[in-house]
């Protein structure tokens, strides 16, 4: 498996506080990767380290085989769109494109202009007068026009309304396929990830709880609901991810590579959001293991 981002015992400290600590992670090439986790898990810090915006306090990180931000050539390989979709309010759309062309040696001006024309953005319009969805699309177009090998997005659609978010995600997915990009997308909105991501990483307290292709993860996780019982009385070939008990009833989320059957417990499949919540649940009944397939 070719890796676009690899971190080993990576840490970043602000004063006395660790924002990221002992993070070890491998992100594969050729996927749209969803990175999800609670606030404070270290997602944004990890992505800023990957872009070269921050320097590690401990451990190491490589992106596309090099140290993030170490050379102009390394910077050119990575596109980044932050949560605030950074554009300059006083500059027009056209001025953003001219600035992008000056700063990025691999700049594809034709692609950027065609994309923005398709979205109906007026080149003479100042970015400060655009809607939130239009600013997000402008930021995405600027990131794509760099012609990066890896595009990193940190909660880029968090502030958008549902329609604008849908349009943004659709544009991202189309661009990733068209330009054969590797993408890492951080989001709290699992429904967005479910639409576009084919690989999922759940990060909690700097630790990878689970990682793998989404179709494989969904096929190997099951919900058991039935009369209350202890986890140690469940089938031995399953790993208990989370357990809830109420009113004489137990609900377990179990990971198993092979099909499992229990006549006392109806078994159902999980959606991606349910799977993520099971790994985020503080009442997790066992240590979650990494899946990499």
pLDDT in tens, the chain (293 residues): 689 999 999 999 999 999 999 999 999 999 999 999 998 899 999 999 999 999 999 999 999 999 999 999 999 999 999 877 678 999 999 999 999 999 999 999 999 999 999 989 999 999 999 998 899 899 999 999 999 999 999 988 877 888 888 888 888 898 899 888 999 999 888 888 888 999 999 999 888 899 999 999 999 998 888 777 666 666 666 788 888 888 778 888 888 877 766 666 677 888 999 999 999 875 443 433 333 33
pTM of the model as a whole? 0.86
Please name the residues in contact with 242: beta carbons below 8 A apart, sequence gap of 6 or more: 252, 253, 278, 279, 281, 283, 284, 285
> Could you tell me if 186 and 44 are in contact, meaning their C-beta atoms sit under 8 angstroms apart?
yes
Report pLDDT for 160: 81
Which residue in this structure is represented by tokens 């085989």?
Answer: 65
CATH superfamily of 3-214: P-loop containing nucleotide triphosphate hydrolases (3.40.50.300)
Report pLDDT for 94: 96
Report pLDDT for 159: 75
Q: What is the CA radius of gyration of the chain?
A: 21
Report pLDDT for 206: 87
User: Which two tokens mark 82?
Assistant: 């932050």
Q: Where are the beta strands (DSSP E) in 29-102?
A: 32-36, 58-63, 78-81
Report pLDDT for 83: 78
Report pLDDT for 242: 85
Q: How many CB atoms lie within 10 A of CB 46?
A: 29
Report pLDDT for 179: 87
Question: What is each CA distance from 155 to 36, 50, 277, in whole angstroms?
Answer: 10, 15, 18
Question: What is each CA distance from 251 to 163, 209, 272, in whole angstroms?
Answer: 35, 20, 17
Report pLDDT for 283: 42
Of 73, 15, 12, nearest to 44 by C-alpha is 12
Please name the residues in contact with 167: beta carbons below 8 A apart, sequence gap of 6 or more: 133, 137
Of 209, 207, 233, nearest to 221 by C-alpha is 209
Which residue in this structure is represented by tokens 């240590």?
Answer: 287
Report pLDDT for 26: 93
């Amino acid at each position: 498996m070719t890796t676009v981002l690899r971190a080993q015992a990576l840490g970043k400290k602000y004063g006395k506080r660790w924002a990221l600590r002992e993070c070890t992670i491998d992100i594969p090439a050729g996927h749209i990767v969803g990175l999800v986790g609670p606030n404070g898990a270290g997602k944004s810090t990890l992505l800023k380290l990957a872009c070269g915006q921050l320097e590690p306090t401990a451990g190491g990180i490589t992106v596309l085989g090099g140290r993030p931000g170490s050379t102009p050539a390394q910077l050119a390989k990575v596109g980044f769109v932050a949560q605030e979709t950074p554009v300059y309010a006083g500059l027009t759309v056209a001025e953003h494109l001219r600035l992008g062309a000056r700063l990025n040696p691999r700049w594809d001006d034709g692609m950027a202009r065609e994309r923005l024309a398709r979205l109906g953005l007026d080149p003479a319009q100042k970015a400060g007068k655009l809607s939130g969805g239009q600013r997000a699309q402008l930021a995405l177009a600027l990131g794509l026009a760099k012609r990066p090998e890896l595009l990193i997005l940190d909660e880029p659609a968090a502030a958008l309304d549902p329609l604008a978010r849908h349009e943004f995600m659709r544009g991202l997915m189309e661009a990733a396929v068209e330009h054969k990009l590797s993408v890492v997308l951080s989001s709290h909105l699992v429904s967005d990830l479910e639409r576009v991501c084919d690989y999922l990483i759940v990060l909690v307290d700097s630790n990878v709880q689970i990682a793998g292709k989404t179709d494989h993860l969904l096929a190997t996780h099951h919900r058991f609901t039935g009369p209350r019982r202890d986890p140690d009385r469940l089938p031995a070939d399953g790993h208990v991810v989370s357990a809830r008990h109420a009113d004489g009833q137990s609900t377990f989320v179990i990971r198993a590579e092979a099909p499992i059957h229990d006549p006392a417990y109806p078994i159902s499949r999980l959606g991606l959001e349910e799977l993520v919540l099971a790994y985020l649940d503080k009442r997790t009944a066992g240590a979650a293991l990494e899946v990499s397939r």
